[in-house]
């Protein structure tokens, strides 16, 4: 059977990135739609979902690392014209991640209440946060499947297909929220439970759609019988070699965020709600860096597979400059309109005032975060995966967490102190990541890996 070819030289950053940008924005809109619609129900419901989602983001890292390894390895294989290898890696990652999602989901159904209680959440939020975590967390296999298959489609350059799936999920989710939160057409008013139901319904339909697209797009057809014939220890080892360190970085970040959230819980429900609003709005700045970083990783993965090291180096620097410029401009614009935007979510003047200050600080945080979103994905695509993890753990837990407590709680700066801690952490790590990329050790790592592969 004749296979497709994926010439690296046709992979422009804009062509790869704009559908990823739209897809990422749609994911953010889905979260903001939940927040905006729940805010019309109650601020306590917003806080409950915000706390539960912080847990889900932390747990999601445990199957997110397989998707990360998949994107890198499939991109490299396609860049080297190894299409059979790319399809085998794709199959192994899909099966593995869905199984991981199932196991974690079952655990969350039984232990959701204990997890929420451990975070010190007040009794008026505990029950709703637990229900949301049980329903959405219990169906994490839907998210793990969508995440992995989306990574595969993007690596094969079908970024628009992944975008269309996310668009469909958003529409379904918003309709579900409208029906279940407000009790339309005689349906019961379900509040947080309704948001959870519409979330899993949209993911179930999204998974069905992306399976169909994957079957039609990838040629030759993905060999799912491959995982039945033999235990894919070689592919799993390669996925874990990239994915586990990458997961370590994300796990460290989400773990530190969970601890910092527990600090914010000390400040009260109003502070939690303000954090949720400010971070949801601020994510619209971050999405530029995320999209550019993901597109950049795909391109550099192809270039590394084709041994185009100088082109890969230049691609990273150019992508970084674009990300810094865009996040700076968008961050400033959002701050200038911060009060009208926050008014869409709440009428609480304290939340609006504090949230506006946080969005000003967000405009200073996000350019620093661009370094991490772009340069870390470049290092990962080149195989230099351990350095970002080491520096990430050191900075997040040695700088961000203690500084958030010292400024936010000890010196009573509240959320402003927490955001200053975020800013110091992001800029420090970002500078170190750029130094590592410019140092060029990833070139030697790539060459060494090629030699070992040829020997074996």
Any domain includes 219: yes
With a cut of 70, say whether residue 452 has pLDDT above it. Answer: no
Any domain includes 452: no
Q: Which domain holds residue 39?
A: 10-440
Residues 135/200, Cβ–Cβ less than 8 Å: yes
Residues 315/381, Cβ–Cβ less than 8 Å: no
CA neighbours within 13 Å on the CB side: how many for 48?
A: 27
Residues 263/418, Cβ–Cβ less than 8 Å: yes
pLDDT in the model for residue 11: 60
pLDDT in the model for residue 85: 84
pLDDT (tens digit, 9 = 90+) per residue, 215-227? 888 866 677 777 6
The mean pLDDT of 340-367, rounded to a whole number, is 91
Q: In sequence order, what are the residues at sequence separation of 6 or more whose Cβ sits closer than 8 angstroms to the Cβ of residue 410?
A: none
With a cut of 90, say whether residue 208 has pLDDT above it. Answer: yes
Where residue 113 falls among pLDDT bands split at 50, 70, 90?
confident
Any domain includes 212: yes
Any domain includes 4: no
The mean pLDDT of 320-343, rounded to a whole number, is 93
pLDDT in the model for residue 247: 72
pLDDT (tens digit, 9 = 90+) per residue, 147-200? 899 989 988 888 889 889 988 998 898 888 888 776 677 677 677 788 888 889
pLDDT (tens digit, 9 = 90+) per residue, 269-291? 888 889 888 988 888 888 899 89
Range in 32-36, 326-330, 346-350 with the lowest mean pLDDT: 32-36
CA-based nearest residue to 28, from 291, 268, 246: 291
Any domain includes 446: no
Share of the chain above pLDDT 70, in %: 87
Number of other CB atoms surrounding residue 198 within 10 Å: 25
CA-based nearest residue to 264, from 15, 51, 33, 435: 51
pLDDT in the model for residue 41: 66
pLDDT (tens digit, 9 = 90+) per residue, 164-176? 998 899 889 888 8
Where residue 40 falls among pLDDT bands split at 50, 70, 90?
low
Where residue 122 falls among pLDDT bands split at 50, 70, 90?
low
Any domain includes 453: no
Any domain includes 449: no
Peptide bond into 220 cis (omega under 30): yes
Q: Which residue has the higher pLDDT, 27 or 429?
A: 429
Quote the tokens at residue 76. 């490299």
pLDDT in the model for residue 6: 42
pLDDT in the model for residue 277: 87
Any domain includes 456: no
Q: How many domains does the chain have?
A: 1
Where residue 8 falls among pLDDT bands split at 50, 70, 90?
very low
pLDDT in the model for residue 219: 65
């Amino acid at each position: 059977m004749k296979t497709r070819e994926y010439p690296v030289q046709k992979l422009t950053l804009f062509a790869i990135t704009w559908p990823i940008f739209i897809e990422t924005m749609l994911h953010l809109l889905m979260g903001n739609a939940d927040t905006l619609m729940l805010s019309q129900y109650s601020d306590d419901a917003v806080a409950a979902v915000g706390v539960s989602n912080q847990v889900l983001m932390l747990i999601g890292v445990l199957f997110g690392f397989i998707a990360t390894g998949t994107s890198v390895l499939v991109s490299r294989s396609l860049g080297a014209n190894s299409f059979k290898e790319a399809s085998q890696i794709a199959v192994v990652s899909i099966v593995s991640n869905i199984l991981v999602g199932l196991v974690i989901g079952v655990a969350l159904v039984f232990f959701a209440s204990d997890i929420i209680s451990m975070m010190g959440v007040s009794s008026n939020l505990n029950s709703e946060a637990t229900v949301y975590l049980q329903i959405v967390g219990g169906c994490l296999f839907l998210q793990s499947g969508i995440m992995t298959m989306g990574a595969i489609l993007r690596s094969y350059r079908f970024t628009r297909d992944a975008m269309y799936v996310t668009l469909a999920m958003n529409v379904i989710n918003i309709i579900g929220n409208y029906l279940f939160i407000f009790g339309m057409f005689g349906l019961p008013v379900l509040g947080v439970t309704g948001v959870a139901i519409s979330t899993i319904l949209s993911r179930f339909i999204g998974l069905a759609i992306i399976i169909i697209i994957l079957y039609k797009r990838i040629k030759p057809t993905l060999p799912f019988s491959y995982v039945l014939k033999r235990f894919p220890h070689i592919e799993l080892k390669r996925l874990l070699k990239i994915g586990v360190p990458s997961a370590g970085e994300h796990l460290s970040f989400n773990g530190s965020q969970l601890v910092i959230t527990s600090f914010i819980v000390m400040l009260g429900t109003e502070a939690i709600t303000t954090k949720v609003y400010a971070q949801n709005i601020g994510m619209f700045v971050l999405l530029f860096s995320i999209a550019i970083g993901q597109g950049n990783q795909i391109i550099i993965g192809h270039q590394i597979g084709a041994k185009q090291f100088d082109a890969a180096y230049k691609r990273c620097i150019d992508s970084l400059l674009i990300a810094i410029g865009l996040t700076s401009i968008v961050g400033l614009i959002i701050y200038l309109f911060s009060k009208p935007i926050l008014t869409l979510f709440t009428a609480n003047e304290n939340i609006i005032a504090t949230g506006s200050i946080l969005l000003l600080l967000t405009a200073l945080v996000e350019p620093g975060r661009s370094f991490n979103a772009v340069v870390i994905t470049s290092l990962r695509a080149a195989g230099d995966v351990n350095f970002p993890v080491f520096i990430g753990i050191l900075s997040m837990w040695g700088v961000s967490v203690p500084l958030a407590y010292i400024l936010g709680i000890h010196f009573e700066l509240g959320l402003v102190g927490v955001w200053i801690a975020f800013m110091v952490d992001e800029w420090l790590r970002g500078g170190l990541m750029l130094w590592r990329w410019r140092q060029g050790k990833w070139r030697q790592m790539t060459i060494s890996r090629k030699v070992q592969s040829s020997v074996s």
